[in-house]
Structure 1
Amino acid sequence: MTLRALDGFAPLRGRAFRTLWLAQFASNIGGWMQTVGAQWLMLSLSGSAAYLAFVQSAASLPVLLFAIPAGVAGDLFDRRRLLLVCEAAMALASLALAGLAVAGLVTPWILLALLFAIGAGQAWSAPTWQSLQPELVPAEQRPQAIALGSVNQNLARAIGPAIGGVLIAVSAPSTTFFVNAASFLVVIVAVARWRERTRDLAATTLPREHALAATRSSGRYVAHSPLLKAILLRAGVFVFFASAVWALLPSVATRELGLGSGGYGLLLGCVGIGAVAGAVALPAVRAALRPERVLALGTVLVAGAAAVLAAVPVVAVACVALVVAGTGWILSLATLNSTFQASLPGWVKARGLAFYLVVFQGGNAIGSAVIGLLAARFGVTGTLGAAAALLALSPLIARLAPIPDITPDELRPAGDVPASHALATDVGGPVMVTLEWRARPGEAGALAATIAAGEPARRRTGATAWSSWADAEDPDRIVEQFVVTSALEHQRQHERMTVRDRARIADAAALAVGPPVTTHWTHAQP
């Protein structure tokens, strides 16, 4: 491993990554400033705690609604244009909110509607942003690039609210809306100047997928990938319990530590310091430990910090605990995110990542709501302590859902799998494909097991049904059978075969006499 691969800030030396990272940082600061301004404005408009809670819901709900179609768009369409459209839409919504606020025409529902529109723009751009930025750096720096994305968010969360509070104090909430609109313009300029290199996708001459078919294919890929499902489960459990720290931190600051808004800003700053420390430490930690253990380490750090916050109501101790929490948060998020992204082939990168965003954001939203209800019933410190204990135990899930070790090179397109020319791509209706194998003497059982091990790969790449059969009178004769929705989808199946899938077919071929006899079946016309 090179020294640069051990440098947590190495990705920032790349011009494209640095430019987009700084633009996103400005936008994140503007977003947090706007959140403070929106909360303050809502408080003055209604004074209702329910409406105040709706402010955060309006910003986060669009991710759950739009992340999957947004991921499809990120895979099928020009990413640069998609980002420009989303950023422009968010800038216009922020300007509209600012103008209406200056004119005194904002009502609670208008405020929520415009916040939802801005959140929708963020949801539509998020899968593309997350899948794009690691591609701007060499492969060995991608975990650091993903970690720096998390640092970006946490630093902005520490800085943005403080600046927003000052602007509101000296002017009005509308000022934060104008600043946020300007921050979107910074991103628009950065993206407009960026030129995308060739994407890491299999070369194709086939027509572009329809959106609905692309959505189904991404869901099918995730559903039949044990690796991705294991990561999603681990991410959901982690964020559900870890959300207790962020959900209850305002209550800890005010009720347990007796701090005001300035003190709360200090605590957020400690989280930001921890996030930077996590980004610095990540390369060395990854070099020393497997991803499973890095995730366990980060989880235990966050759990320990939560336990300290619950048990020791001392400001200095809380600051140290939050530095540790920020470090553990970055180690865990970067490990989950980078492992998930590295486990996705190029053709499904953005839409596969959308499932991760839905699970993560959904787990955070649901976890925060549940933690809040429990805190109201059992108290802040008791709930935080219980969440810390459960979070510390969560790495034990590795026994049920371990994260398999698959290298990104295994998920690259095989490239040497010939497409089927037996079918025209305009043949309608489902297609059944059969491969008739003949096992070498004494290898029938091994061949059947190897063929069966390839079922998830067939389903990930397009099969809607799969089965295998052995001839009752000739056990060495084994037939693999699967169904795809169309001849065109079967052609895509050839393009989506990875190096890992090709190796499984080679393993089967080593146990068989000659190549399989392949037959394509269409519906018989009466």
Structure 2
Amino acid sequence: MPLRLSTPRAFLPLRHATFRTLWLATLASNIGMWVQNTGAGWLMTSLDPAPLMVSMVQVASMLPVFLLALPAGALADIIDRRAFLLGAQAWILAMALILSALAATGTLGPWGLLTLTFCIGAGSAMNFPAWAATTNELVPREDLVGAIALNGIGFNLARALGPAIGGFAIAAAGAQAAFALNAVSFLVLILALVFWRRPAAPRGRMPKENLVSAMRAGLRFVSASPAMRAAILRACTFFLFSAAVWGLLPLFVRERLGLGPEAFGLMLGVMGGSAVAAGFALPALRNRLDRSSTVFWASLAICLAMGILALSHHWLPAALGMLIYGAAWITAGSTLSASAQLAAPAWVRARAIAIYQLSFFGVMALGSALAGWVGGRFGVPPALGAAAIGGALAALLVRRWRIDSVALAESAPVAAAEPRPEAPAASLQAQLGERSGRILEAVRYRIDPAERAAFLAAMQEVRRVRLRSGAVSWRLYEDVAHPERWIELWAVESWTEHLREETRRTEGDRAALARAAALHRAEAPPEAARFLNVVP
């Protein structure tokens, strides 16, 4: 009887052909990006070896995500995602070719390197939220968490291969060769996107959101989502301190260890290889630890790694530190990313992921710059030691913010009736639309005073539902003469935004509204009404 080998759990999402093709193409582009990052970091040690300038290479690559991720996420939610991704890759390709040409002709200075690194980072900033939100389209729900983890494995496999390739390319043909390899790698992804036949989105009855309104809706969703806020807080504290290694590693290898670009690439390769191995172990780890505990222990492990680096004078203990660092990095990073994606429904997913990404990339840029400043004043090892101590303390402080109570946005339906307002009067139909001005919505409840506490608790979640769905304000009032009478008021930007509220609610949101309505004590259901603002 022939022996049948089962596919490892980590590889299961690759059974979907479109995901597999785009994953492989993204792997190629990520390898090129790491080749580019290695070349830029090493070249700066020759152009201007000051610790602050070397760390600014990482700042220049990460700061665009902080600045552009939110508009990029909004655009990815409201225009064709495939065309958007193609545009981002074409921009990165053009900037990589310019960088390679300037480096080859010897006309590239330190500030030119930072500027073009920033431009390439801008393309990546446009790419990140769109690609992350696309994952949900390429695999079914049961493979989503595995696909997110596999994206992390691919990213770290690229981190294992890219720096090593970059180090040898620099040694053989200079930094311009690393930049040219990056340009070639993005051609692969562009071709994969050209051949991707994304299903056309269903035409809705309402106009598409405009950019500014979409950005505001994304911010309101995140601010009213405890799960998203917890994921962002935990990510910020993790990446703020761990970014010290990214900012200082080129100088650490060159000055502390006295080694060359090949060793720099290999150190990054050790870290990437460790991250890949840890990524394969993540499915088993998820069966033993919840997400919050996983991030906590990974945070302590990465601080241990930075402490080992701070004390190292030889490449062997330094390699051990990078080994631990890589495993901890992907364990925390993949877990936090999965939590953020699971917390966001489809209509706002790219924007929510963008806000998550701009938060941790912003603190990574800040952490890298702070590490460079501390390294310039006190030395590289003290800067790494300070980051290790600060990261451990921060992990303990934020441990109580849980990221586990996150259900998929598309959960099982519930049978519940929501308060429904009357249809608009025919005489006002012409005034209702995208430019109608604010709409005030109201629901009146009758609540048994004995159930006041339960009602207030239920309305706390109703408040978050309204704000997540697009409300710009929300209030709850109690009648001072009749304590059983309550009125809930919230406002949206326009009549069109009011109509979008219904499409944005998840089944969990509807269940929260039904729980509040179930406390209403009257023969008729709660009375709902809508009011048009007629005085500007």
Instruction: Determine helix, strand or coil for the equivalent of 1:443.
Output: helix
2:531 match? 521
Q: For residues 9-45 of structure 1, give each alpha carbon's deviation from its aligned partner in whole angstroms, at most 9, with x where no partner exists.
A: 3223332222212211211222233344445666777
Secondary structure (helix, strand or coil) at the match of 1:472 reads coil
Q: Gapped runs of 5+ residues in structure 1?
A: none
Specify the alignment match of 1:283 in structure 2: 283
CA–CA separation in structure 2 for the residues paired with 1:456 and 1:56: 37
Change (3 A) 1:492 1:226: same
Query: In the alignment, what sits opposite 2:374?
Result: 374
| Amino acid of the structure 2 residue aligned with 1:330 | I
Distance (Å, rounded) in 2 between the aligned partners of 1:497 and 1:253: 51
How far has the Cα of 1:374 moved from its partner? 1.9
Aligned to 2:19: 17
Q: What amino acid is aligned across from residue 332 of structure 1 in structure 2?
A: A
**Closer, same or farther in 2 for the Cα pair 1:214/1:278, shift >3 Å?**
same
Give me the whole-angstrom Cα distance separating, in 1, the residues matched to 2:79 and 2:421. 24
Partner of 1:133: 135
1:455 aligned residue: 463
Which is further off, 342-351 or 375-384?
375-384
How far is 1:465 from its partner? 1.6
Aligned residues: 522
Percent identity between matched residues is 40
CA distance in 2, matches of 1:414, 1:101: 61
Cα distance change on mapping 1:134 and 1:284 into 2, 3 Å: farther
Decide whether the 8 Å contact of 2:305 with 2:324 is kept in 1. Answer: yes
Match runs of 1:345-494 below 5 Å: 345-398=345-398, 400-403=400-403, 405-409=405-409, 421-422=423-424, 424=429, 425-426=432-433, 428-440=436-448, 442-494=450-502
CA distance in 2 between counterparts of 1:18 and 1:381 reads: 42
Question: Which residue in the other structure is 2:514 paired with?
Answer: 506
3-state secondary structure, aligned to 2:227: helix
Instruction: Give the corresponding residue for 2:121.
Output: 119
Deviations 1:210-230 (A, max 9, x none): 111111111111112222111
Report SS of the residue matched to 2:10.
Answer: coil
> Is the Cα contact below 8 Å between 1:374 and 1:383 reproduced in 2?
yes
C-alpha distance in structure 2 between counterparts of 1:48 and 1:253, whole Å:
14
* In structure 2, distance between residues paired with 1:169 and 1:472: 79
TM-aligned CA distance change 1:316 to 1:117, over 3 Å: closer
Whole-Å Cα distance in 2 between the matches of residues 371 and 46 of structure 1? Answer: 17
> 2: CA distance between counterparts of 1:17 and 1:478?
50
Cα distance in 1 for residues equivalent to 2:52 and 2:453: 63
Q: In structure 2, how many angstroms separate the alpha carbons of the residues matched to 1:95 and 1:262?
A: 23
CA distance in 2, matches of 1:521, 1:175: 64
Match of 1:91 among 90, 93, 109: 93
Contact 1:270 1:319 in 2 (8 A): yes
C-alpha deviation, 1:327, in angstroms: 1.1
Residues 473, 321 of structure 1: CA spacing in aligned structure 2 closer, same or farther, 3 A cutoff? same
Which residue identity does 1:435 align to in structure 2?
Answer: V
Conservation of the 8 A alpha-carbon contact between 2:55 and 2:372: no
- Per-residue CA deviations over 1:284-335 (Å, capped at 9, x if unaligned) read 1112211111111211221222222233544333323322221111110011
Is this contact kept in 1: 2:170–2:261, CA < 8 A?
no
Residue pairs, 1:15-414, within 5 angstroms = 15-38=17-40, 55-99=57-101, 111-197=113-199, 204-398=204-398, 400-403=400-403, 405-409=405-409
Contact 1:307 1:385 in 2 (8 A): yes
Q: 1:151·1:272 contact (CA, 8 Å) conserved in 2? A: no
- Provide the rounded CA distance (Å) in 2 between the counterparts of 1:181 and 1:347: 33
Contact 1:419 1:495 (C-alpha < 8 Å) held by counterparts: no
Cα distance in 1 between the residues matched to 2:217 and 2:79: 16
The answer on whether the counterparts of 2:163 and 2:266 sit within 8 Å (CA) in structure 1 is no
The residue type paired with residue 434 of structure 1 is: A
Q: Quick one: distance in 2 between partners of 1:157 and 1:460?
A: 36
2: CA distance between counterparts of 1:237 and 1:139? 29
1:174–1:449 distance in 2 versus 1, CA, 3 Å: closer
User: How far apart are residue 242 of structure 1 and its match?
Assistant: 1.3
SS of the residue 2:475 aligns to: strand
What is the deviation of 1:385? 2.7
Q: Distance in 2 between matches of 1:70 and 1:414?
A: 34
SS in 2 for 1:481: strand
Shift of residue 172, structure 1, vs aligned partner: 4.6
Once structures 1 and 2 are overlaid, which stretch shifts more, 20-29 or 171-180? 171-180
**CA displacement at 1:74 relative to structure 2:** 0.6
- Distance in 1, Cα, partners of 2:20 & 2:14: 5
- What is the distance in 2 between the residues matched to 1:518 and 1:268? 60
- Amino acid in structure 1 at the alignment position of 2:516: A
C-alpha distance in structure 1 between counterparts of 2:7 and 2:495, whole Å: 44
Measured in 2, the distance between the counterparts of 1:372 and 1:98 equals 26
Shift of 1:390: 2.8
Deviation at 1:355, TM superposition (A): 0.8
Change (3 A) 1:11 1:325: same
Q: Equivalents in 2 of 1:20, 1:287: separation in Å? A: 28
Q: Offset at 1:342? A: 0.4
Per mean C-alpha deviation after superposition, the further-off stretch among 451-460 and 280-289 is: 451-460
Gap change, CA 1:373 and 1:145, over 3 Å in 2: same
Q: How many Å separate the matches in 1 of 2:171 and 2:205?
A: 59
Shift of 1:400: 4.8
* Structure 2 unaligned spans of 5+: none
Summarize deviations over 1:183-205 as a string: whole Å, max 9, x none: 11100111111222477x9x842
The separation in 1 between residues aligned to 2:46 and 2:257, in whole angstroms, is 27
Contact 1:300–1:392 (CA<8 Å) still a contact in 2? yes
- Higher deviation after alignment, 398-407 or 330-339: 398-407
State TM-score, norm by structure 2.
0.88
| Contact 2:52/2:372 (<8 A) preserved | no
Aligned mates of 2:376, 2:93 — CA distance in 1: 38
- Kindly provide the amino acid, as one letter, of the partner of residue 63 in structure 1: V
Give the distance between the partners of 1:491 and 1:502, measured in 2 at CA: 15
1:176 deviation in Å? Answer: 3.2
